[in-house]
């Protein structure tokens, strides 16, 4: 199983470079050697929630011939997403883009963390109770939770001011459900990894760039723009769930081991497959 996670395309009617970057990301997904079983978009699909921006977003998704699962971010319009993507998964929570994907080896659960009118997010009691029930019904299934706002403290004041309310209750819930193998999010435009309850939490940067913050100034947000990343989540019986950070670029594939022996030192480009 291979699930690709993209995040924060921020399609903007006034900034065509955002759409161009997302188009490149979609093209890159289609060029992966192993065809993905699904693609996750962890929020901020558009920058202003405009109909024209969602039209562009959907048109850019059209080349993907595998299921695409979307959750809202703080820049999104929940009603617009529900009208376009409210059919996703099963066991939806009315009024939210909460749903379950049950037809893969790893169970996927999408969580709607939007808090309308705020940059930060929340998981209220109703949303957490729904999640608790979904996790209780399949304790024998490895499960991946995907959402926009990550339940973490980054140490960067600007980002933590728009964090996730309900993180502590979510952590307690994950502790009670050790079959949650991964919790993934977007929002911070950075590649962060930390422990979370009995699981691992990872964040996926945006499709146009990865932010590398200057950690010596936590009260400000000074950063470098680095190449965009995706997360690749793979599962097999021998390995369990593994996650790779993956550049959304196309360097050559080089064979270092042919299944029987290592290639010579500094293998020539001709060995690329």
For the chain of 273 residues, list the mean pLDDT of each consecutive stretch of 10. 98 96 97 97 97 98 98 97 96 97 97 96 98 97 98 94 97 97 98 97 96 91 91 97 91 78 63 42
Q: 21 Cβ partners below 8 Å, 6+ apart?
A: 9, 207, 208, 209, 228
What pLDDT was estimated at residue 256? 77
* 176 contacts 214 by C-beta, under 8 angstroms: no
What pLDDT was estimated at residue 271? 42
What pLDDT was estimated at residue 257? 77
Angle formed at CA 39 by CA 164 and CA 16, multiple of 5 degrees: 80
b vs e for 124-163, b when ≥16 Cβ sit within 10 Å of the residue's Cβ? eeebbebbbebbeeeeeebbbbbbbbbbbebebeebeeeb
Checking phi first, is residue 95 left (phi over 0); if not, alpha (psi -120 to 50) or beta? left
Burial class (CB in 10 A: 0-12, 13-18, 19+), 83: exposed
What pLDDT was estimated at residue 263? 82
CATH class for domain 2-271?
alpha beta
What pLDDT was estimated at residue 172? 97
**How large is the C-alpha radius of gyration of the chain?**
19
β-pair type (99-101, 107-110): antiparallel
What pLDDT was estimated at residue 176? 97
Q: 63 Cβ partners below 8 Å, 6+ apart?
A: 26, 27, 30
Q: What is the DSSP string of 185-234?
A: E-SS-S--EEEETTEEEEE---SS-EEEE-TT-TTS--EEEE--EEEEEE
For the record, the structure tokens of 80 come out as 């617009």
Give Cα 49 to chain centroid, integer Å. 19
Domains of the chain, by residue range, sit at: 2-271
């Amino acid at each position: 199983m291979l699930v690709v996670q993209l995040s924060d395309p921020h399609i903007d009617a006034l900034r065509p470079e955002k759409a161009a970057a997302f188009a490149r990301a979609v093209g890159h997904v289609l060029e992966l050697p192993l065809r993905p079983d699904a693609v996750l978009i962890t929020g901020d699909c558009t920058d202003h929630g405009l109909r024209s921006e969602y039209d562009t977003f959907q048109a850019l998704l059209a080349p993907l011939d595998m299921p695409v699962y979307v959750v809202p971010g703080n820049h999104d319009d929940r009603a617009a997403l529900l009208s376009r993507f409210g059919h996703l998964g099963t066991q939806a929570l009315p009024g939210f883009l909460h749903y379950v994907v049950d037809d893969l080896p790893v169970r996927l659960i999408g969580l709607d963390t939007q808090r309308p009118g705020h940059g930060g997010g929340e998981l209220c009691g109703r949303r957490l109770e729904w999640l608790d029930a979904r996790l209780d019904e399949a304790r024998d299934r490895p499960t991946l939770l995907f959402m926009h706002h990550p339940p973490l403290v980054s140490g960067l004041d600007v980002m933590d001011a728009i964090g996730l309310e309900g993180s502590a209750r979510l952590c307690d819930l994950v502790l009670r459900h050790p079959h949650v193998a991964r919790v993934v999010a977007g929002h911070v435009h950075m590649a962060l990894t930390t422990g979370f309850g009995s699981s691992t939490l990872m964040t996926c940067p945006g499709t146009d760039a990865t932010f590398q913050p200057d950690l010596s100034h936590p009260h400000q947000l000074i950063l470098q723009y680095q190449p965009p990343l995706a997360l690749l989540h793979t599962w097999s019986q021998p390995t369990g769930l593994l996650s790779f950070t993956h550049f959304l670029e196309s360097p050559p594939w080089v064979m270092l081991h042919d299944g029987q022996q290592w290639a010579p030192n500094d293998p020539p480009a001709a060995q690329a497959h």
